[in-house]
Amino acid sequence: MVRMTGVAKNTVSKLLLALGEVCANYQDQTLVNLKCKGVQCDEIWSFVGKKAKNTQEGEEGVGDCWTFTAICADSKLIPCWFVGDRGQASANAFISDLARRMSNRIRLSTDGHSPYFRAVVEGFNSGDVDYGRMVKIYKTDLINNRRYSTTEVQRVERTAVIGYPEEKSISTSYVERQNLSMRMNMRRFTRLTNAFSKKMLNHEAAIAIYFMHYNFVKVHSTLRVSPAMAAGVTDKLWDNADIVKLLDATEKPCENALIFFPKSN
């Protein structure tokens, strides 16, 4: 972008940070009272600065991080996300944020990641969720067990955990496909490259901008409208200029818009 615009690198970086904060704040305020019926949740791995195994004692703001994402199975809207570690506190914050955005009882599906159960119990009232868990059991392949390849799925186990979710509705296929889109469309999520985020603020800003574009600008191929339109959040298809106008209309971005990486990690 520096070469394209002829503007200094620091200026571009500050602009993207400000835009990311505005996008996060706008979605935080707008994506509420949603009438989603089915919601799927998952988490996707990335790292900032360096991988956890390469960090030194006392280093803060670098290492492995996880982005928790939720997707509405019908509108394909991303109602919320959370960037942090993969522990219980992060799961609690993410699920609590999801629960407050729903206006009705939902069918919730996750994988077998253990912190989800406690997070759902504490984040939702029992009358607000039918929660099911889908776990994939893989065949062991000791001969061809390569790091970036998965073995064949032996079976899939679907379990009703809270309420009465229909077995056929327990699925994480949409959110897993969305995680693939994140890896394909955000270079900093691509494995085995030098394009990883160097600072957590930049990482979070990029995610906020990506989801703003995904929710409001991108036309979903099967819906023929944007996810925000399908969910009734907006009645028009946005373009990139509309996103920039959010920044123009904000004198000072909200300082609490982004969820920062826990210092303990």
Q: What's the mean per-residue pLDDT of the chain?
A: 88
Within a domain: 263: no
CB burial of 121-140 (b: ≥16 within 10 Å; e: otherwise) equals bebbeeebbbbbbbeeeeee
- Whole domain around residue 23: which residue ranges? 2-248
Query: Which amino acid appears at position 261 of this protein?
Result: F
Within a domain: 40: yes
Instruction: List the beta bridge partners of residue 160.
Output: 132
pLDDT in tens, 101-125: 999 999 999 999 999 999 999 999 8
pTM value is: 0.87
CATH of the domain at 111: 3.30.420.10
Q: CA 55 to CA 141: how far, in whole Å?
A: 31
Instruction: List the beta bridge partners of residue 158.
Output: 134
What does each C-alpha distance from 143 to 135, 140, 151, 201 come to in angstroms? 24, 9, 11, 41
| Tokens, residue 156 | 């899939």
Within a domain: 130: yes
- Statement: residue 180 has pLDDT above 60: yes
Within a domain: 90: yes
Is the pLDDT higher at 52 or at 78?
A: 78
What does each C-alpha distance from 254 to 54, 238, 251 come to in angstroms? 33, 22, 10
Q: CA 88 to CA 97: how far, in whole Å?
A: 14
Q: What would the mean pLDDT of 39-61 be, rounded to a whole number? A: 91
Within a domain: 262: no
Count of structural domains within the chain: 1
pLDDT of res. 150 = 65
> Can you tell me which residue has the tokens 């906020």?
208
Contact 64, 51 (CB under 8 A): yes
Q: What would the mean pLDDT of 39-55 be, rounded to a whole number? A: 94
Within a domain: 255: no
Q: In this predicted structure, which of 1-5, 21-25, 61-65, 71-75 has the lowest mean pLDDT?
A: 1-5
Within a domain: 264: no
Q: What would the mean pLDDT of 155-174 be, rounded to a whole number? A: 93
Within a domain: 265: no
